[in-house]
Amino acid sequence: MKRMIALILALIGIVAAVSGCGGVKRKDNRLSIVTTIYPEYDWVREIAGDKADITLLLDNGVDMHSYQPSVNDVMKISNADVFIYVGGESDSWVEDALKEAVNKHIRPLSLMDTLGNKAKLEEALPGTDKKDEKTEYDEHVWLSLKNAKLFCDAIAETLANADTENAALYRENADKYISRLEALDKEYADTVRSAEYKTLLFGDRFPFRYLTDDYGLSYYAAFDGCEAETEASFETVAFLARKLDELELPAIIKIDNSDEKLARTIVDNTKTKNQKIVTLNSMQSTGTADGNGYIEIMQQDLDALRQALNSETNGG
């Protein structure tokens, strides 16, 4: 990967030298902003409005864990005014991409750096199939409405510093959007507080550490993170099936873009075999064509949580 990025950057440098320009002209003086994943894109869209041209790199259904930037992608970053990325293990390519950016005044913003010491390590629970690699910080930081408020503040400040003429607008838009995040955060807290159950069981990968911790939910999962490429072991399936029986949970969870094969196998190994399978959207491969904004998707996830935490919503 590093060698590929180096070759791309060398090509970009040649193009810049030939054109005799260290940057690009902006259409109508709008900011050029590049984001890696959909939550970042949607936050910027809400905060910047029509004052920016926004590019979403992962806009084709590619999961962030398997994404590799193309020459065109790196060119877009190189010429951007602002580049927003997660900053976790999946973004190991970013440092090289930023080193020789054509626009020397580019303002990079890392979500992980913004979160700082609030970032959480991936945690393996009993019964979980562990990866053979070292423990990493959980990079799914956007799946927390509390984190999202911090990120939107940081985005507004970054845009305000890059475009002082519209600084007040960016901050005003961010304040309005953060109010909506706070309202949904309260709805999540109220839902969990009144829920019949306080434990979630994932028959899948597990990107929801930040969300479960926000509301004091316990959880079990087939894998300790999101990059597992192997099948769950028989021991894990049996353990999770026993937990469903022991806790009498009404549902098991899978994540978006994952079939329900593993979840169904776990259910089939329980005594009652009637637990519902519900889906939580992790937004790891969401694109603009999906239609819903970040808040709408988080609202849908809340609806799914209600099914997972209350037996009366179980359709069997």
pLDDT given at position 224: 82
**Who contacts 274 (Cβ-Cβ below 8 Å, separation ≥6)?**
267, 314, 316
Which amino acid is residue 286, in one-letter code? Answer: T
Q: What's the DSSP call for residue 167?
A: H
Residue 45: phi and psi, rounded to 5, are -60, -40
pLDDT given at position 8: 52
Reported as a single tens digit per residue, the pLDDT across 118-133 is 999 887 776 776 655 5
Q: Give the other-Cβ count within 10 Å of 302's Cβ.
A: 17
Distance CA 313, CA 217 (A): 18
301 neighbors 192 (Cβ within 8 angstroms): no
143 neighbors 210 (Cβ within 8 angstroms): yes
Distance CA 291, CA 176 (A): 21
91 neighbors 36 (Cβ within 8 angstroms): yes
Distance CA 154, CA 157 (A): 5
**Who contacts 97 (Cβ-Cβ below 8 Å, separation ≥6)?**
5, 8, 9, 69, 74, 77, 78
pLDDT given at position 27: 59
Distance CA 270, CA 245 (A): 6
E-strand spans in 8-110? 31-35, 52-56, 82-85, 107-110
Comparing 24-28, 42-46, 245-249, which segment has the lowest mean pLDDT? 24-28
Distance CA 178, CA 151 (A): 10
Average model confidence (pLDDT) across the chain: 89
Reported as a single tens digit per residue, the pLDDT across 167-210 is 999 999 999 999 999 999 999 999 999 999 999 999 999 999 99
Q: What's the DSSP call for residue 164?
A: G
* Residue ranges of domains in the chain, CATH in brackets: 197-313 (3.40.50.1980)
pLDDT given at position 193: 98
Reported as a single tens digit per residue, the pLDDT across 74-124 is 999 999 999 999 999 899 899 988 987 888 899 999 999 999 999 998 877
Q: Which residues of 228-262 are buried (b: 16+ CB within 10 A; e: fewer)?
A: beeebeeebbebbbebbeeeebbbbbbbbeeebeb
Distance CA 124, CA 224 (A): 5
pLDDT given at position 18: 38
Torsional sign, CA 45, 149, 307, 280:
positive
Provide the 3-class DSSP secondary structure of residue 221: strand
188 neighbors 301 (Cβ within 8 angstroms): no
Closest to 51 measured CA to CA, from 27, 34, 73, 85:
27
Provide the 3-class DSSP secondary structure of residue 56: strand
Distance CA 73, CA 34 (A): 9
E-strand spans in the chain? 31-35, 52-56, 82-85, 107-110, 199-202, 218-221, 251-255, 276-280
152 neighbors 144 (Cβ within 8 angstroms): no
